[in-house]
């Protein structure tokens, strides 16, 4: 098979449906769940049976979350997947909210600060930070602790940093500073999720998820810092070989700013096709069955060209990250490691697509920092450019190599 006939393997994100525990899955679904469980088991170092149980519990929790539809004005203040109980946990400030959570199948946890107070504190931190503070790598709400956490890089303080930290102390006990070993950084690095692609003559990034537009045109979404340049050729091999298509068409298909870290590449090469399989680097490919927003406590894995297949847990969502000159909002942090060249790659929760790789600590050495890798929620990227992520049954070929 020639290189030009390589398949663009990417995953379609679809609207997530609540888990039906009483239904009997068909053979195809069983195969997909098994491959997802095997890949997760490898990444987390657990048994396939444990991985299957974890994924089933997470899907059930996601279904409860979707059905509950919490409103901050109704006494809700965040949610997370509780690994100990295997259920959705919800922070509440009123007895009525607690009753609603229990009725939906969630476990309520009473907290002191409601969502409005957390939002006020987050806005106050952002106002103090302005365009960035030396040694401050980001901030956001920790729903389990019911507080806003500001991440401070040890040893990177200046007089300005100390003034900022003093001002934070004035905000009260709802804001806490946590030290980290190092600051995150955007990471740049066949085209299927996790395989490399090259923006022009630059170093490679990784492919996220394939998508189609309303006219059936083919695309894939990836990291915005990989698609900064308008109308840049996108290649499947280094040295300007095997053109896939065009990145950031018209200069309107890339964001690397407060709004997010996301971009789209138009796939126009006649020998490139879309597929609904994710490269797991040694295990059977995972076929995505749906989508989910990232959730605190959720087990996730990502496929990237450099670190290959890495798994961990989501530690925070809706976070603001300062990449050193570029501040991005709405990101999620995880314990999975990553390295340069992984940017844009696919993040999965079992067989549900959740994000695009944005950045991290750029190390997979043992004993790394807790919040090692960062992802951009993928639903936001798809919605921004009115794309539909590809499942393989949209009339486009999903053939292998």
> Active-site residue among 261, 342, 351, 371?
261
DSSP H/E element including 39? helix 27-44
Integer angstrom CA distances of residue 323 from 45, 134, 314: 31, 11, 19
With 0-12 / 13-18 / 19 or more C-beta atoms within 10 angstroms meaning exposed / middle / buried, residue 167 is middle
Annotated catalytic residue within 109, 225, 302, 357: 225
Give CB contacts under 8 A, 24+ apart, made by 42-48: 42/280, 42/282, 42/283, 42/309, 42/311, 43/301, 43/309, 43/310, 43/311, 43/312, 43/336, 44/299, 44/311, 44/312
- Residue 369 has a CB neighbour count (10 Å cut-off) of 20
Q: Which residues of 27-66 are buried (b: 16+ CB within 10 A; e: fewer)?
A: eeeeebbbbbbbbbbbbbebeeeebbebbbbbbbbbbbbb
- When computed from its CA atoms, the radius of gyration of the chain, rounded to whole angstroms, is 21
> Roughly what angle, to the nearest 10 degrees, separates helices 48-68 and 27-44?
110
Q: State yes or no: is 137 an active-site residue.
A: no
Nearest C-alpha neighbor of 354 from the set 38, 20, 55, 132: 55
Q: Which of 343, 357, 358, 373 is catalytic?
A: 343
> How far out from the chain centre does Cα 178 lie?
22
Q: Which of 15, 111, 33, 53 is nearest to 287 (CA)?
A: 33
Q: How far apart are CA 333 and CA 375, in angstroms?
A: 6
> Is 114 annotated as catalytic?
no
Closest alpha carbon to 220 in 18, 385, 78, 103: 385
- DSSP class of residue 285 equals P
353/335 Cα distance (integer angstroms): 17
Known catalytic membership, residue 343: yes
Positions marked catalytic: 225, 261, 343
């Amino acid at each position: 098979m020639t290189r030009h006939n390589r398949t663009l393997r990417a995953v379609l994100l679809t609207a997530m449906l609540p888990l039906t525990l009483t239904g009997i899955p068909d053979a195809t679904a069983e195969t997909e769940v098994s491959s997802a469980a095997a890949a997760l088991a490898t990444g987390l170092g657990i048994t396939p049976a444990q991985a299957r149980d974890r994924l089933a519990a997470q899907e059930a929790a996601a279904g409860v979350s979707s059905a509950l539809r919490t409103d901050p004005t109704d006494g809700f203040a965040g949610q997370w997947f509780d690994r100990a109980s295997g259920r959705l946990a919800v922070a509440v400030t009123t007895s009525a909210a607690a009753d609603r959570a229990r009725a939906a199948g969630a476990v309520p946890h009473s907290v002191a600060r409601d969502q409005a107070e957390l939002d006020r504190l987050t806005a106050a931190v952002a106002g103090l930070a302005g365009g960035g503070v030396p040694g401050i790598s980001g901030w956001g709400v920790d729903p389990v602790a019911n507080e806003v956490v500001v991440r401070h890089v040890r040893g990177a303080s200046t007089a300005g940093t100390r003034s900022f930290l003093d001002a934070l102390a004035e905000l009260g006990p709802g804001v806490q500073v946590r030290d980290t070993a190092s600051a995150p950084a955007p990471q740049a690095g066949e085209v299927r999720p996790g395989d490399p692609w090259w923006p022009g003559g630059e170093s490679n990034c990784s492919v996220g998820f394939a998508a189609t537009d309303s006219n059936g045109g083919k695309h894939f979404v990836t990291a915005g810092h990989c698609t900064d340049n308008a109308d840049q050729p996108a290649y499947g091999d280094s040295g300007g070989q095997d053109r896939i298509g065009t990145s950031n068409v018209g200069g309107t298909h890339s964001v690397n700013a407060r709004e997010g870290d996301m971009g789209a590449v138009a796939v126009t090469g006649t020998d490139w096709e879309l597929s609904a399989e994710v490269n797991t680097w040694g295990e059977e490919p995972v076929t995505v069955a749906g989508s989910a927003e990232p959730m605190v406590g959720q087990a996730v894995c990502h496929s990237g060209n450099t670190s290959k297949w890495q798994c961990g847990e989501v530690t925070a969502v809706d976070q603001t990250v300062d990449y050193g000159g570029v501040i991005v909002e709405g990101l999620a942090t995880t314990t999975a490691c990553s390295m340069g060249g992984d940017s844009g790659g696919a993040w999965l929760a079992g067989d549900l697509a959740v994000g695009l790789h944005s950045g991290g600590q750029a190390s997979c050495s043992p004993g790394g920092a807790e919040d090692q890798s960062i992802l951009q929620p993928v639903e936001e990227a798809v919605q921004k450019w009115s794309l539909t992520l590809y499942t393989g049954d949209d009339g486009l070929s999903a053939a292998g190599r």
